[in-house]
Amino acid sequence: MKKVYFSLAFLALSMVFLLLAAHWIFNRVYVPEGHSLLLRYRGPFFAHADTAPAGSYAEEGQIGILKQMRGPGRHFYCPLWWQSDIVPDVVVHPGEIAIITSKLGEKLKEGEFLVDFYDENGEVNPDGNLGDTIHKGVLRKALGPGRYRINPYGYEHEIVSRRHLQDGNQIKHSGWVEIPTGYVGVETYLADNPKLGKRKGVQTEVLPPGLYAVNPHERQIDIVEIGYREVSITVKKQARGNRVVYDESGEPLAVKDTGINFPSNDGFDIQLDFTAVWGVMPDQAPPIVRTFGNVEAVEQKVILPQSESICRNNGSKMGAVELLVGDTRQKFQLDTSAQFQDVLKTKNVTLLYGLVRHIYIPRDVRIPIQNGYIADELKLTREQERDTAKTEARLREAEKTVDLEAEKIRVETQKLVASVAAEGERKSREISAETERKVAAIDREIAELEAERDVVLGQANATANELQEKARADKFRLAVESFGSGGAYTKWQFAEGLPDEIDLNLFYAGEGTLWTDLKNVTPTLPLRQQKGKR
């Protein structure tokens, strides 16, 4: 009977071991690091099971692909009921983004093409995770650098680095967008984003410098340089070889029909150089992109045409002489700059300076005017030289007057110094005599005080000796009184005078037996002098 039980136990243990071994060998699935396990439930062989609807994940007990993927490690699934596939994780490197497309869910409404994440309340959640989608289509959220576990049954992915789209004279950036310092980003949304309050089109707010993960299906970025820049329209100068040609007055000769040229109101051909220092501020970048496309278009379509137009219009209203003379030329400069600034302000462009740098007047007009101005300047120069000579003569006269007054002051100063010195000498002698008198009086008082000091000290010494002798006598009187008699005091003094090392031996003798008792005392008396004793 025991053998039967033993055999049954051994058989049971063997079956358990075989089942465990089969489970370990056939059911074990190892998922390496950086991978995930995608599971598909085949269903039971001997029972009926529901099949998940097409285009959806399988729920618990349904036949189909599971939504949740398993991570790295050992997992045990029987291949008879489960189909397992090892799927590598999606890695997005720095400088890249991942665009995700949902393959499962409901169709989007007409006109919509971006898929949002939803929370458990059915509200849009911009910060949701994969698996929180209910529609098919491209996800609005792009995934930045990192490692992601993405179910390939439900999602497709596309890795995008830097993407540039040329649209006419515009360059649209998307993907991994870097906005450098000194620039801003102007966003153009391709679809509405109600959750963020964004409407389709160019946005008013700009992006500051930084790194951005931009979904090219949702928005595009124009990178706009901020700050001032310079553009000049200049007249070419005639040259021989590498040298500029000048006329007799030192003016360079201009090449015809270069720079900004126009006729004056008196029929002369005028040319000039013009420089504009202009720029775009951050709040002006969106209107620039919306209206012109980019900053270079502003220069070609606004700055250069308006510079020429305004200078021509204002210059044609003036004569050649007015453009050469200082006051009227300054007025032409101010009017041109103010009008140019007003025009650029309507275009959302900032003007720092609009400068008319040089005006080339025809020689036939310029030389007579310059000669006339030179004659006037020479006349003014002679008048100034005459005034300067008069002023110099007055200066010399003033210098002589200053020398005379200085000599007077020097003599008066010497006189005052001598008077002050004499008065000081007199006061010094008076002070010296008074000092000697006071010293003599003090010496007399010191002598009197010293005499008084000798008398007081003599009296004090006599009184002290007297008191000392009296105290000594009182000491003996009090000592005798304390011992009762003079003899007792004398004995006390004798006892006080004995040495500290003396030995006293007492013996008793009866009346009239001193001599007979001395023989008994002899052994007690010292026979020899002990060291240090007598």
Which has the closest alpha carbon to 319: 264, 261, 262? Answer: 264
pLDDT at 457: 85
**Residue 115: pLDDT above 80?**
yes
Question: pLDDT tens digits, residue range 414-431?
Answer: 888 888 888 888 888 888
CB contact set of 397 (below 8 Å; sequence gap of 6+)? none
Question: pLDDT tens digits, residue range 305-339?
Answer: 999 999 999 999 998 888 887 788 889 999 999 99
The H or E element containing residue 37 is strand 35-41
- CA 178 vs CA 25, 145, 172, 486: distances in Å: 52, 14, 12, 130
Please state the domain extents for the chain. Answer: 26-87, 90-225, 227-361
Topology of domain 227-361, CATH: Tetrahydropterin Synthase; Chain A (3.30.479)
Which has the closest alpha carbon to 355: 434, 275, 262, 465? Answer: 275
Under a CB-based contact definition with an 8 Å cutoff, are residues 175 and 161 in contact?
yes
Mean per-residue pLDDT for 19-33? Answer: 83
Sign of the dihedral through C-alpha 135, 90, 119, 200: negative
Task: In whole angstroms, give the CA distance from residue 260 to residue 278.
Answer: 19
Helix axes 326-346, 304-316, angle to 10 degrees: 140
Question: pLDDT tens digits, residue range 502-519?
Answer: 665 555 555 655 556 555
**What radius of gyration do the chain's Cα atoms show?**
63
**Residue 116: pLDDT above 60?**
yes
Question: pLDDT tens digits, residue range 239-290?
Answer: 888 888 887 777 888 888 899 999 999 888 899 999 999 999 999 999 999 9
Q: Partners of 155 in the beta sheet?
A: 102
- The pTM of this model reads 0.60
**Residue 167: pLDDT above 80?**
no
